[in-house]
């Protein structure tokens, strides 16, 4: 029977039995709601005003989901997090890969240099002469062809309204058109390298939730920052593009698609978190993605009234430590982690009225703060539509890949 697309949340009351019938008895279990994932693919595309989205792989870490997104209308290419990962994905058929962060992995650079097809497919990120030196030294002996290594320059678009105040990611030291042009010219003096693009990621807009009255200051900062970026990034891109042919200018992330895509110098958006819509992305005023990734954990004890303890649960997201980095309990509704223990290493007590009805062996469903990191803890995800398990696919970990 053909599946009728659903815009309703997964039926958690039935999900446990559905998974068990499909042979998925082990807990914890990771589940992707395919209807929600596909809705998010379409919703992100609608937000770009026609610019392509380069899929940020760190926020998926599951090859089948990455391939589905990349193949969707409005999506093109991958934004990877390490060169090792990029080489692996290229060996599995992906052809347009930008590594979003600089690498000091000389062995991986040598492997890149030794494969002509990888050299043509993969772009490295640089922001300074030491990066250029390191790449040149690494490829010195390894080069099997004369095709140059593709590089892109990372520009800092953090907001600095006052001297000494830096709001945004601490990444590239290059902030001005002169800085950018200086490195572009340096690249052009090195025949082993070829400049193909610019990336300028506005993390203070793309990655900082701005929903609700208490975040009015965040919204003000983001508005001022996007105006400032429009001028500075625009001037830098025009300066570099005046002398060099650029294939792409990448900007943004899930949280900034609207503002980034209005910048006329941007040719593509890099984004991934909005596809599985992890909990940190509930907090944006401009869009509401559908939660698409859930984790089921087994209840193993009932230590007290209104308390149930699950095995595992401590999937804490990276970033500045705080309650927003903890998973959220989605089902049964109304449960929270205990204040004394939080989400634990081996066990996590969850507290609330609904715990009264939980028995040993029942499943409690969580969402995690970030979308990609949990895949490092699960070897596979079940892909589900409504009450049907459509497929079971390996995560990077399930494919024995470990990149950082
Ligand atoms: C360079 C770059 N682009 C884009 C993103 C946005 O990714 P996502 O949409 O998955 O949050 C990030 C996230 O950190 C990033 O570092």
CATH number assigned to the domain covering 34-275: 3.20.20.10
pLDDT score for 155: 98
Q: For ligand 1, atom 5, name the residue with the nearest CA.
A: 253
Question: According to the model, what pLDDT value does residue 1 have?
Answer: 46
User: What pLDDT score was predicted for residue 381?
Assistant: 98
| Distance between Cα 370 and ligand 1 center (Å) | 12
Residues with CB under 6 A from ligand 1: 56, 59, 79, 100, 199, 201, 206-207, 253-254, 270-273
Q: How far apart are the C-alpha atoms of 256 and 206, rounded to whole Å? A: 4
Residue 74 Cα to chain centre, angstroms: 17
How high is the pLDDT of residue 142?
A: 63
For the chain, the helix, strand and coil percentages under 3-state DSSP, each to the nearest 5: 35, 25, 40
- Whether the Cβ atoms of residue 72 and residue 41 lie closer than 8 Å to each other: yes
Contacts of 386 (CB under 8 A, 6+ apart): 3, 4, 6, 10, 11, 35
Q: Tell me the CA–centroid distance for residue 156 and ligand 1, in Å.
A: 14
Within 10 Å of residue 200's Cβ, how many Cβ atoms?
Answer: 26
Give CATH for domain 12-28+292-398.
Answer: 2.40.37.20
Geometric angle at alpha carbon 245, from 240 and 250, rounded to 5°:
70
Tell me which DSSP letter residue 72 carries.
Answer: S
User: Which atom belonging to ligand 1 lies closest to the Cα atom of 281?
Assistant: 11
Atom of ligand 1 nearest to the CA of 372: 10
- Pocket test residue of 59, 205, 260 for ligand 1, highest count of atoms within 8 A of CB: 59
pLDDT tens readout for residues 242-264 = 999 999 999 999 999 999 999 99
Locate all alpha helices (DSSP H) within 48-81, ordered by sequence. Answer: 63-71
Q: How far is the CA of 331 from the centre of ligand 1 (A)?
A: 29
Report d(CA 64, CA 30) in Å as an integer. 14
- What is residue 261's predicted lDDT score, i.e. its pLDDT? 97
- Residue spans of the domains in the chain: they are 12-28+292-398, 34-275
The Cα–Cα gap between 393 and 383 comes to 7
Q: What is the pLDDT of residue 6?
A: 77
Residue with tokens 């193949």: 71
- Name the residue of 37, 65, 86, 100 to mutate for ligand 1: max ligand atoms within 8 A of Cβ: 100
Q: And the tokens for 260?
A: 């980034």
- 380 phi and psi, to 5 degrees? -155, 160
Helices (H) and strands (E) in the chain, counts: 12, 17
Would you give per-residue pLDDT tens digits along the chain (404 residues)? 456 677 888 999 999 999 999 999 999 999 999 999 999 999 999 999 999 999 999 999 999 999 999 999 999 999 999 999 999 999 999 999 999 999 999 999 999 999 999 999 999 999 999 999 999 999 986 665 679 999 999 999 999 999 999 999 999 999 999 999 999 999 999 999 999 999 999 999 999 999 999 899 999 999 999 999 999 999 999 999 999 999 999 999 999 999 999 999 999 999 999 999 999 999 999 999 999 999 999 999 999 999 999 999 999 999 999 999 999 999 999 999 999 999 999 999 999 999 999 999 999 999 999 999 999 999 999 999 999 999 999 999 999 999 99
**336-337 and 388-394: which strand pairing?**
unpaired
Query: For strand 193-200 and strand 149-154, is the pairing parallel, antiparallel, or unpaired?
Result: parallel
> Is 224:161 a contact under the CB 8 Å cutoff?
yes
Q: By C-alpha distance, which of 69, 26, 76, 83 is closest to 51?
A: 76
Write the DSSP string, 306-366: TEEEEE----PPSSS-SGGGS-EEEESTT-EE-TTT-S-SSEEEEESGGGGG--TT-EEEE
- The answer to whether 191 and 184 have CB atoms below 8 angstroms apart is no
Residue 311: phi and psi, rounded to 5, are -80, 125
| Ligand 1 midpoint to CA 231 (Å) | 21
């Amino acid at each position: 029977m053909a599946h009728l697309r659903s815009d309703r949340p997964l039926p958690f009351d039935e999900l446990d039995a559905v998974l068990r019938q499909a042979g998925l008895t082990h807990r914890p279990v990771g589940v992707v709601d395919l209807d929600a994932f596909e809705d998010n693919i379409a919703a992100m595309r609608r937000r770009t005003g026609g610019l392509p989205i380069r899929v940020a792989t760190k926020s998926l870490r599951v090859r089948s989901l990455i391939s589905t997104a990349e193949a969707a209308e409005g999506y093109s290419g991958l934004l990877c997090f390490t060169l090792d990962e990029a080489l692996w994905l290229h060996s599995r058929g992906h052809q347009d890969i930008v590594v979003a962060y600089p690498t000091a992995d000389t062995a991986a650079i040598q492997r890149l240099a030794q494969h002509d097809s990888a050299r043509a497919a993969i772009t490295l990120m640089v922001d300074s002469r030491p990066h250029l030196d390191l790449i040149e030294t690494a490829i010195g002996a390894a080069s099997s062809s004369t095709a140059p290594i593709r590089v892109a320059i990372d520009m800092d678009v953090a907001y600095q309204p006052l001297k000494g105040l830096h709001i945004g990611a601490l990444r590239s030291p290059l902030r001005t058109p002169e800085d950018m042009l200086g490195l572009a010219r340096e690249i052009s003096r090195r025949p082993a390298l070829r400049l193909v693009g610019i990336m300028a990621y506005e993390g203070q807009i793309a990655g900082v939730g701005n929903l609700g009255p208490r975040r009015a200051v965040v919204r003000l900062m983001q508005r001022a920052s996007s105006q400032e970026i429009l001028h500075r990034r625009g001037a830098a891109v025009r300066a570099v593009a005046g002398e060099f042919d650029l294939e792409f200018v990448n900007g943004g992330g899930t949280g900034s698609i609207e503002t980034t895509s209005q910048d006329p110098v941007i040719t593509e958006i890099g984004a991934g978190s909005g596809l599985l819509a992890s909990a940190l992305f509930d907090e944006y005023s401009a869009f509401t993605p559908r939660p698409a990734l859930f984790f089921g954990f087994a209840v193993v004890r009932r230590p007290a009234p209104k308390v149930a303890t699950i095995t595992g649960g401590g999937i804490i997201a990276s970033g500045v430590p705080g309650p927003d980095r903890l998973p959220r309990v989605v089902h049964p509704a109304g449960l929270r982690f205990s204040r004394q223990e939080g989400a634990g290493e081996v066990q996590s007590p969850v507290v609330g009225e609904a715990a009264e009805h939980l028995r040993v062996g029942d499943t409690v469903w969580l969402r995690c703060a970030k979308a990609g990191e949990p895949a490092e803890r699960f070897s596979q995800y079940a892909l589900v539509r409504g009450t049907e398990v459509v497929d079971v696919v390996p995560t990077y970990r399930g494919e024995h890949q470990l990149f950082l």
